[in-house]
Structure 1
Amino acid sequence: MVTVEGTSTARFEPVRAALAAHLESGEELGASIAVDVDGVMEVDLWGGHADAARTVPWRRDTVVGLWSTTKTLTSLAALVLVDRGALDLHRPVAHYWPEFAARGKQDIEVRHVLGHTSGLSGWEQPFTMDDLYDRPTASARLAAQAPWWEPGTASGYHMQTQGQLVGELVRRVDGCTLTEFVETEIAGPLAADVQIGAREADWPRISALVPSSQTPAVPEGLDPEAVLTRTMLGSPARDEHVDTPRWRRAELGAVNGHGNARGLARALSVISRHGEANGLRLLSPETVDRIFDVQADGTDLFLGIPVRWGIGYALAGPRTIPGMPTGTVCFWAGWGGSIVVMDLDRRVTFAYAMNRLGTGILGSERTHDYLGRVYEALGAAD
């Protein structure tokens, strides 16, 4: 039987058993799971291997690329600035970033960016990885383009643009980069092992991501004018770019965060605990409440599934993902299965990070299995 390291309280032993089973079957290569219950890390587990050849064990301090779970950190950075009065959710983005007003975007508000309703779900073509890696170019291109639908009327997941949009706002109002802000204002104070990009000193402990053999190709025959098509073509980062030096050195606040489950739970528990964690009040309860101001509730123009978007996070509801209860719960997941769930009703934070990518839009089957077992243990499964 595969050994799972770390600790878990008695009620969460089924979570440990599930991780062991997925590792034993080979579905899971290496992974970490954490559950923070009102400041107590009741689950802090890891196991498996950090490399595809299974020669390097996944250790306590192993970190991994987070894909879109990165957005949970980027949105938290924006909320910290909202809480400080530096950002106003209802002010136009152009108030802070004047160039952004071009081509009819003068009325797009900060909340539209955080709620994925701004109409800027991808970059106009041609747009390359070289452009994405160059922050000034990527920002200027978004500032110069027109929205792809009427802002505020529907969501279209900002798969790779949201990090650029929020990152530029952070830089304009605070003077530092998003990477610096997350490090100095979130990760450091909360003792959370998370970061945007990856410091070169940490590269030896990064586990490379292993794509699924079922990774889908871009479908053929799509309507070239559809938001789905334009977003896919206008979001150039792919599996092959991850775990390269350029990727790790870049600031891609939508997709290239690094961390593990413990680090994510420590950082995002500040939301589950109504603004305070690790002895630090990072957000007021009123700012946390703003997360649940619904920005869109319907079929997302890019994802093609119903998503209820609040400020920076998706909101739980009857149409979300298996194992997740309704209530005052927000979350987001990354490509391959990583996830953070913040449950304010129970003051619980669940995080999962892994190196073998699964399939699915909002988490993989493994994600759903772990999440369901967590809520069964809490006595709150639907």
Structure 2
Amino acid sequence: MSAHEQQQTPQTHAPIHGHCDPRFAAVREAFEENFRTRAELGAAVAVTVGGETVVDLWGGWADAARTRPWTRETVVNVWSTTKGPVALCAHVLADRGLLDFDAPVAAYWPEFAAAGKEKVLVRHLLSHRAGLAGLREPHSLEELYDWELTTARLAAMEPWWEPGTRSGYHALTYGFLVGEVVRRISGLRPGAFLEREVTGPLGIDFTVGLPAREYGRAAELVPPRAASPAGQEAVFKELAPAAVAALTNPAVGAADATSPGWRAAEIPAANGHGTARAVAALYGVFAGRGAYGGRRILSPEAAERVREGQGSCRDLVLGAGFEGETEIGLGLWLSGPHGSYGPNPRAFGHDGFGGSCGLADPDAGVSLGYVMNRMGPHIADDPRKTALVDALYSAL
């Protein structure tokens, strides 16, 4: 058998590789358990404590056929876990006095004042309170790839609800809204700004979109098991029009996210690509109160602002998926009573569709990044992520 044929022969086991400080053996055990009992295919998890990487594990396969092992350098689309780095861009600008969270968005983006949005504040964009959870007019996936068209339609549209009064998850629009403010101030879209200010200087392996030269190390996303048509219809009957727009206009699936069009576009709410190590480092900037890798990215005061709660409520888009109320800070979700990011209610983070997660807890000095390619059906709090977070806190 040739070496090529050996490489393409499906493997039947999922060895775990990497480093785990003995103190955090529980994280390794939970990671291994995800493969044994929670249908993990390929994944990686990383933890930092005080800016030091204490867990850096990976295992499984980067493709559904189980012919490509997941390696230390495997990257994957992390969906909405990308929103944390986008929020970081806004906080860098605010820390430099170039962005005022209490200013109207139209002060930076004049066209945004249309359709009664002249009083929408920048903080409303960061906290999903702008009422622009999804576009009103049909918007195709190809149109989503067009930055100018998408931002122009958002600037022209009327909000679904009174801005500032409630949060409703801006699944795809968040990145264009916050990102266009970043672009108007800096001249750069979030991906380029993040590279210039954070990932480049710190050597963090994370991009918004994916350059063609990196395709060979990208994991293949495997979609969650589809609900029955009747089940899907029942779910959408329960959703408000804003929620339907947020989640289906356009609808995006695993196959779309591995296409050249998706990878070439800049969709800052959903098409970040990176390793677990990279996610842990980016959220580690917040966990380190603005400092990471020996560099200060934010002042301590600016880093603290990200978890400035904007009021708890039943989310107008995701409310059916959570019991009770949730609360978003200035760009990230607070752990709150649900314990989504551990037992400290003031820890915070962001999940990505299907399971990925970034977590920051400045009080404990810890960050966590988890990435995977077999998507679960959850928008948040996938059982694999929850097991890893519980294990981390059991070791602290």
For residues 339-381 of structure 1, the C-alpha deviation after alignment (integer angstroms, 9 at most, x for no partner) is 0110011110011000111122323111111111111111xxx
Q: What residue number does 1:80 align with? A: 92
8 Å CA contact 1:297, 1:307 repeated in 2: yes
Is there any run of 5+ residues in structure 2 with no aligned partner, and where? 1-12
For residues 169-222 of structure 1, the C-alpha deviation after alignment (integer angstroms, 9 at most, x for no partner) is 111000112111111111111211111001111110000111112467643462
Is 2:354 the counterpart of 1:340?
no
Q: What residue number does 2:380 align with? A: 362
Q: What residue number does 1:301 align with? A: 316
Is 2:233 the counterpart of 1:219?
yes
8 Å CA contact 1:127, 1:236 repeated in 2: no
* Aligned-pair CA distance for 1:20: 2.1
Q: What residue number does 1:283 align with? A: 298
8 Å CA contact 2:38, 2:384 repeated in 1: no
Q: What residue number does 2:201 align with? A: 189
Is 2:263 the counterpart of 1:251?
no
Q: What residue number does 2:120 align with? A: 108
* Aligned-pair CA distance for 1:17: 2.1
Q: What residue number does 1:15 align with? A: 27
Is there any run of 5+ residues in structure 1 with no aligned partner, and where? none
8 Å CA contact 1:119, 1:147 repeated in 2: yes
Is 2:387 the counterpart of 1:372?
no
Q: What residue number does 2:7 align with? A: none
* Aligned-pair CA distance for 1:153: 0.5
CA distance in 2: counterparts of 1:225 and 1:61, whole angstroms: 41
Q: Specify the code of the residue in structure 1 equivalent to 2:82.
A: T
CA RMSD of aligned residues (A): 1.6
For residues 251-298 of structure 1, the C-alpha deviation after alignment (integer angstroms, 9 at most, x for no partner) is 000000000110111122110010011111111111112112211301
Q: What residue number does 1:163 align with? A: 175
Q: Which has the higher helix share?
A: 2
8 Å CA contact 1:209, 1:357 repeated in 2: yes
For residues 280-327 of structure 1, the C-alpha deviation after alignment (integer angstroms, 9 at most, x for no partner) is 111111111211221130110000132211100011211243x71124
Is 2:144 the counterpart of 1:132?
yes
CA distance in 2: counterparts of 1:72 and 1:103, whole angstroms: 29
What secondary structure does 1:341 align onto?
strand
What secondary structure does 2:338 align onto?
coil
What secondary structure does 1:340 align onto?
strand
CA distance in 1: counterparts of 2:19 and 2:50, whole angstroms: 17
TM-score under structure 2 length normalisation: 0.92
8 Å CA contact 2:80, 2:269 repeated in 1: yes
What secondary structure does 1:78 align onto?
helix
Q: What residue number does 1:350 align with? A: 368
Is 2:336 the counterpart of 1:317?
yes
CA distance in 1: counterparts of 2:179 and 2:392, whole angstroms: 33
* Aligned-pair CA distance for 1:226: 3.3
* Aligned-pair CA distance for 1:114: 0.1
Q: What residue number does 1:233 align with? A: 248
8 Å CA contact 2:208, 2:268 repeated in 1: yes
Q: What residue number does 2:5 align with? A: none
Q: Specify the code of the residue in structure 1 equivalent to 2:330.
A: I
CA distance in 2: counterparts of 1:240 and 1:277, whole angstroms: 35
Tell me: CA distance 1:224–1:8, structure 2 relative to 1, closer, same or farther (3 Å).
closer
Q: Which deviates further from its counterpart, 93-102 or 77-86?
A: 77-86
Count of residues in correspondence between the two structures = 377
